[in-house]
Chains A and B, each alone.
Chain A
Amino acid sequence: MSDPSKHVVSEKDGTFYLEVLGQGYVLVKVPGKEYKYATTGGEQTFILSERALVDNTGFSEKNSISKTQAISSVHSDFLSQFNDNSVWQSLYGTLPGLTVLQQLGWNATPTLYMRGGATFSGKAPLIIVDGFVRGVDKLSMEEVESVSVLKDGAATALYGAQGANGVIVFTTKRGAYKTRNVEVDYKFGLGLPWDMPSFVDAATYAYAMNEALVNDGLPKRYTDREIDAFRSGKYPELYPDVDWMDVGLRDFTTNHQFGVSFNGGGDNVRYYTYINYQNGLGLLKNTDLNEKYSTQMRKNKLSARVNLDLDLTKSTRITLNLFGNLGEDHTPSTGSPVAGFYKVPSSAFPIKTESGHWGASDKIKSNPVADVADVGYSNSYSRELQSDIRLKQDFSRWVKGLSAEVAVAYDNRAVFRESNKKTYSYEVLVPVLDDTSGEILSVSRNVFGEDKSLTYSSSLSGQRMSSTLEGRISYDRTIRKHGINTAVIYRQESSVPLGKAATRKYQSMMILGTYNYADRYIFDLVANYYGSSVLPKGDRFDLYPAVSVAWVVSNENFLNNCATIDLLKLRLSYGRSGFNSFGYDLDQQYYTGGNGYYFTSSNKEYGGMKLDVLPVKDLTSQLSERGNVGLDISLFSSLSVTMDVFHERRSRILQSAGSLYSSVLGTTTSQKCDGMVDAMGGDGAINYKGNLGEFRYNLGGSFSFVTTEVKQYHSNVEETYTSKIGKRLGQFFGLEAIGFFQDEEDIKTSPKQTFSAVQPGDVKYKDQNGDKKINSNDFRAFGYSTLMPEIYYGINIGFAWRNIGLDMQFQGTGNYSAVLKKSGVYQPMSGGANLSEWYWSENVRWTENTKQTANLPRLTTLANQNNTEDSTFWLADASYFTLRNVYLYYNLPQKLYEKMKLSGLQIYLKGENLFRIDKIKYSNPDHIGALYPDMRMLYAGINIKF
């Protein structure tokens, strides 16, 4: 290795021939990694311990040396441990800088923020699959080779006016030359709802209702006899006690996931094929009332992928990717009718009345069981095709290092929805009581609604056609110590969904340049001239430049022989990117139809035309300017650390300027492109791998801290502390609760609370500005942001001993706030809402007797605006620590599977969301208001390799 310029490229099978003079070492480079081996002379075999791990920007691959940007990646070796029917399940806390927050619901996908999502709205990162803007909802993690997050200005500049919110690049697997692998995987899943609230029984509800009514100064609703009747169950029709959660929801759901992959290749062709089938059932009971159809929620998905690489000649390669998906989503026609089971008090009405009608009441006119069982069903059928083809021609024959590529992608997706709906009849029962004795004299029975037969309707509920055309010319050559890699890329994208105003087109002309001096100093330059169709004509293009540099200290001569340091590298970058999420023609003012008027004695209507809202002056895309400093360290071939510190300024955010202009202008005033948000923080990852004999272990973690500060935001506030400026995005603002009013005297002597009339037992607030009034001027910042945590981290622990292994992924958040608003659970009774045990028995509500110890306000049946205002009373610490994923596996001994003519056989168990430590009872801190239950998942599976 006296001559570093002496290098050779291996054959496809990995063999190479190198003439070495004297003693030295061979440096084996694969993308992302380098291995040093001392020469022994003669034929040598080098076994590379790991697969090459690269970062994919969607335009090119970067390895640990050539990367100058802040990009975090995770690869299939990790992803496959925790894969699930959602690609997001293994990404909680996995990629530093990417905040993934769980959402609950039948079809929920998590909320994503990249480094704080530094804009007012529309914070979702851009998602790229195999180089093109695409959805990943139908993808299986099994077919994904890597996921990279582009975080800094240098990386996001590649995506111009779509890049400012960060970019998540999914890359699917590809075949390998001269191999053939078949893998079959099946797993059975059980979903177990957890962390669900429980509600009081009917007698308690009736008793509490009386208490609430008395509090409200209204007559009691139930006599003691009636409360007894609820308790005794003597008249189950008139005084029912229905545990709706138990009646309506199953204790578990089931699902099946089956996948087969074929991958391999010959001399000129490589292929990767993956077929995936999944189905899953919902949580509902009472779904088989009708013989002809079930109303259980059900999902089916069948997808297939073919990724082909063809080497037409030595210099011509074609890449072809096809992905197709067929999906069916079946639900009752009411959608996801889980809410009813939370909302209906157990005393409200029986499931069915004696006459066979569904029960309901004057106030609650629908029966939650009937909303599942007797409403018909609806189906959504989705079909999706993602296709792209890329041709790469190497022109090295004429100019060494010159190549050209052209690529086309065409995706099409449609969702067709049909429903077969019906209505049902319900009966309202009201007992007529004797005034004095309280005996039931008779029952008034009234049937409402009609029990109709199914009516059919159908519609195209979603559609998207997108196409991308890309061409590029690249020049990539290393002359002695000087590596030069430049490319000119032209790209145009068009996305046409249902509804013509949603059409978006983008176009970019980009120059990329890299200069690499001996793998020590690397300079990257991006100049992206990027146009968006929503911007004003003639001014649609912006230039998004970026520069980034890296200094690979470990490749300096003075560290060359240091065996402990595998990699020591400093990175520095600055870059711009943009974002525009607004509609067309904001810069134009058009006449649109206005209200008409009636002239003439025969009352003829004349159409009106009115000038629309004022145009936006200087309409432009949001501008993100990001600076990033990074450090990559790799030691002892076992420990790797990456750390980044960044600052982002997002400016030119389009925002309402209504607060600037007087209403006397008489029109909706134009918005202004002058919002500004700063985001700053740091993120990093650490991984350690080691072994003690046959016991192998790894420890790793990712950590992100990001805080945001609103710099420019238009609002009119009387008190400076109510201003959002200088605060976090999504900062909680509320009144400061200082206890409960204890008596009328207390109310009289306290500042007047103006939200609704107050009485003892209502929440008392602090007068922040001393004006003796509690109103909108008394809201101030408390806690943290309710949108996203400042601290977001993940911890991975893995053990393997012989054939058995256990991998665990923990994830947590910190500096995170939530507001406890959930009708029936945290805010019960008012407007006929349910009453939770949390409110009733686990805490102390305010009553005359408990006024000293109460920690919840009095019960009320009315809408109590005063108590439900945002305040510190409902503010909760949303930080949590959870075990997201567990993977326990056993690889059958080689002897055994070889006997079965297999090349691998594994059985495994997986678990998701198994436990969580948090401070909020009965809710997932990431999604407080959701009524769809949080689910624990358990899987048992088998994986066979042929």
Chain B
Amino acid sequence: MDKFKLAFFIVLSSFVISCEDLRFGDAFLEKPAGNEDNLDSVFARKVNAEQALVAVYATLPDFYSGQLSGNEFLESLTDLNNTSRDAGAVPKLYYSGQLTSSAAQGQLRFNYTSGGWPGIRKAWIFIENVDRVPDMTVEEKNIRKAEAKLIMAIHYFDMLRSFGGIPWVGRSYKPGDDMSDFHRMTVEETVGKITGLLDEAAYYLPWTTSSLDDGRMTKAAAMALKVRVLLFVASPLFNDDTPYMSGQAADELLVWYGNKDNRRWQDAVDAAEAFLEELKLRGGYALVDTGNPREDFRKAYFNRGNGEVLISTRARAKYPKGKNDDEAFFFATNDFGNANTTLDYVDMFQMSNGDEFDWNNPAHASYPFFDVNGDPVRDPRLYESVTVNGDDYQGRKAALWIGGVDRPTDAKTKTLAASGFCMRKFRQDIYSAAGKFYSFPYLRLPEIYLSYAEALNECGRSEEAYEYLNKVRRRVRMPDIEENSLTKEELREAILRERALEFGYEEVRFYDLVRWKREDIFKKKLRGLDIVSKDKGKTFEYRQFEIPVARCWQGAGWSPKWYLCPFPISEINKKHGLIQNPGW
């Protein structure tokens, strides 16, 4: 029996050993092997540290970023575009007026919880740790840190123009840190922080980049963004005798400066002049101008590295290949009506000779887009911003008449071109954009010209403004606006219109209307165009119609609260000092 026992013990112990290579204590409890890159190991090598900065870049905003859920355009909140869809945030929350502070953040025009703060945190982590990287030079580190700061400034500014003053986060937080007080800065403090970041960034950044670094932040980007920031805050939304709406946030100067001071316009002028001086000195940037206005304008917003785009953001590699392609992510919603350009926008484009377009002028009204020979009659930018009936489209003529290929019915909802028009910018005719490199022109050189012109006009230097307004018009071969032909107010309107014409679908118009508190434009009922053809596309009749999709702020439902976004109620309830914006 003892032999049997011994044999059994041997069998048992081999069983024990074979099914478990015997370890005890913490060694046994070790977790399965996996990724363990941490802060120390990442910032021990340049190649990893660079990747940490790439992740900061990846937080940059994108025009189709889904900030408004359902791939809606910010332009749909303006007079330029209308969405005729019944899904998505614009119809469901904005047009309907159902938006409250408890709406899911992912649906709003700016996502407070994830829109800017993650990028700011990533930027701080990079700035705080990059000095440890052994295989980077001090100069490299300074440049990279400046890039991170500039991206931070972009996030801060995007929040400033959506919310007003916001909390300052001056470092990356770790568990155990005091996280009890994140009150809002005043508008003035916020502007100070942003311009501070921009000045620091501009100090180290190179004016231009090599093609290897194409897409990275530059000194030109920093100085240009400063112009945009200062122009925005000099405008009446923040810089006025009264707040746009009263409330606690207004009392505490979180949504305005508290007074009207014309020096703020002068600051914008100074920033623009600083930029322009540097540009004169170093060159490197110019409007795309090869003498072919329509193509130049397209290249100006579409091509990356064209010398005109000062800040481009690149959330994607390429435009989708086509309507039915697997990659056709965001154009699909166009077909359901999110890209219905309004007739109001189309009518803003002058005749190519500089005359205002007028439906009461029979010559205009019978050939609004192309003359009898099929030649374009309007500002070339119209054809690159909006697909109009009869233009070249997918190798044929766009048939936007009722019953035509591109507008099969006169349905006013949920269809492509329900307004009689469709967005052309970025999208082009789909095929010409397909497969091309993707980037969003966050800030282009002409904006600096127009911002400078606008600030000059407000500072009483109107006569100098015309030159910069006309610089932008000349590129598309539109006639100059004659110097001193307009009053200050007329010139302001002309500049605002020029910005709309130049930057349609580039997220400029909405903020222009907001900063100028353009209640009058927000309230306006918008129009579309029914094009009727009795002979299948040979001759046309044009019938304007009022777009039936109602926006709650058109007319009596107007409230200035819409200028700024609500903070999410869940954030306010955390009681870290966040004060809600007026009206929400």
Contact = CB atoms under 8 A, between A and B. Distances in A.
B573 to A, nearest CB: 3
B54 A312 contact: no
A719 to B, nearest CB: 10
Nearest to B122: A610
Interface stretch (A249-257, A591-599, A679-687, A734-742): A591-599
Interface in A602-661: 602-603, 605-611, 614-617, 659-661
Given A594-B58, A599-B213, A600-B211, A505 B28 contact: yes
Contacts of B121: 665-667
A609 B51 CA distance: 5
B71 to A, nearest CB: 18
Contacts of B58: 594-597, 608
Contacts of A313: 1, 5
Contacts of A717: 573
Contacts of A507: 24-25, 28-29
Contact of A312 (B1, B118, B214): B1
A590 B55 contact: no
A597 B167 contact: no
Interface in B279-319: 304-305, 314, 316-318
B39 A406 contact: no
Contact of A663 (B113, B305, B317): B113
Contacts of B9: 391
Interface string A383-395: 0000001010000
A560 interface: no
A943 interface: no
B545 interface: no
A718 B215 contact: no
Given A609-B55, A614-B174, A664-B117, A591 B38 contact: yes
A597 B571 contact: no
Contacts of B318: 603
Interface residues of A, number: 72
Interface in B71-129: 96, 98, 100, 102, 112-114, 116-122, 125
Given A507-B25, A667-B121, A610 B55 contact: yes
A479 interface: no
A664 B159 CA distance: 11
Interface string A720-762: 0000000000000000000000000000000000100100000
Interface string A773-788: 0011000000000000
Contacts of A599: 212-216
Nearest to A672: B175
Contact of B55 (A318, A410, A494, A594): A594
Contacts of B574: 659-662, 716
A657 B16 CA distance: 43
Interface in A533-571: 533-535, 537-538, 540
A665 B54 contact: no
Contact of B573 (A467, A503, A617, A716): A716
A391 B7 CA distance: 13
A795 to B, nearest CB: 46
A534 B31 contact: yes
Contacts of B573: 659, 716-718
A717 B179 CA distance: 19
A540 B27 CA distance: 11
Nearest to B436: A603
B137 interface: no
B54 A666 contact: no
B182 to A, nearest CB: 5
A600 B213 CA distance: 5
Contacts of B15: 389, 408, 410
A662 B26 contact: no
Given A599-B216, A600-B212, A533 B30 contact: yes
B48 A501 contact: no
A501 B32 CA distance: 7
Interface stretch (A235-243, A272-280, A581-589, A913-921): A581-589
Given A410-B19, A610-B55, A538 B28 contact: no
A601 B208 CA distance: 13
Contacts of A602: 211
Contacts of B32: 500-501, 503, 584
B8 interface: yes
Given A533-B29, A601-B211, A716-B573, A391 B167 contact: no
A617 B176 contact: yes
A408 B119 contact: no
Interface in A139-159: none
B206 to A, nearest CB: 14
A661 B1 contact: no
A420 interface: no
B570 interface: yes
A754 B98 contact: yes
B437 interface: yes
Nearest to B571: A663
A387 to B, nearest CB: 10
B16 to A, nearest CB: 5
B326 to A, nearest CB: 18
Contacts of A506: 29
A591 B37 contact: yes
Contacts of B439: 598
A287 interface: no
B169 A610 contact: no
B37 A662 contact: no
Contacts of B52: 591, 608-611
B203 interface: no
A93 to B, nearest CB: 39
Contacts of A610: 52, 55, 122
A665 B28 contact: no
B557 interface: no
Given A389-B15, A659-B574, A600 B215 contact: yes
A290 to B, nearest CB: 33
Contact of B54 (A501, A503, A597, A776): A597
Interface string B555-573: 0000000000000111101
B4 A600 contact: no
A532 interface: yes
Contacts of B117: 663-666
Interface in A385-421: 389, 391, 406, 408, 410
A662 B305 contact: no
B51 A607 contact: yes
A316 to B, nearest CB: 6
B34 interface: yes
A662 B577 CA distance: 10
Contact of A664 (B22, B167, B211, B305): B167
B113 A590 contact: no
Contact of B38 (A534, A590, A596, A607): A590
11 contacts: A505-B29, A532-B29, A533-B29, A538-B26, A598-B317, A609-B54, A610-B55, A611-B39, A617-B176, A663-B568, A666-B122
Interface of A: 312-313, 316, 318, 389, 391, 406, 408, 410, 467, 469, 492, 494, 500-501, 503, 505-507, 531-535, 537-538, 540, 584-585, 588-592, 594-603, 605-611, 614-617, 659-667, 670, 716-718, 754, 757, 775-776
Interface of B: 1, 4-5, 8-9, 12, 15-16, 19-20, 22, 24-26, 28-32, 34-39, 41-42, 48, 50-52, 54-55, 57-59, 96, 98, 100, 102, 112-114, 116-122, 125, 166-167, 169, 172-176, 179, 182, 211-216, 304-305, 314, 316-318, 437-439, 568-571, 573-574, 576, 578
Given A391-B9, A609-B51, 16 more contacts: A500-B32, A505-B29, A507-B25, A532-B29, A589-B38, A590-B38, A591-B39, A594-B51, A600-B214, A603-B304, A607-B54, A608-B52, A662-B167, A664-B167, A666-B118, A666-B120
A-B pairs, top 10 by smallest CB distance, nearest first, are: A666-B121, A594-B55, A716-B573, A608-B55, A666-B117, A595-B58, A609-B51, A608-B54, A663-B113, A591-B37
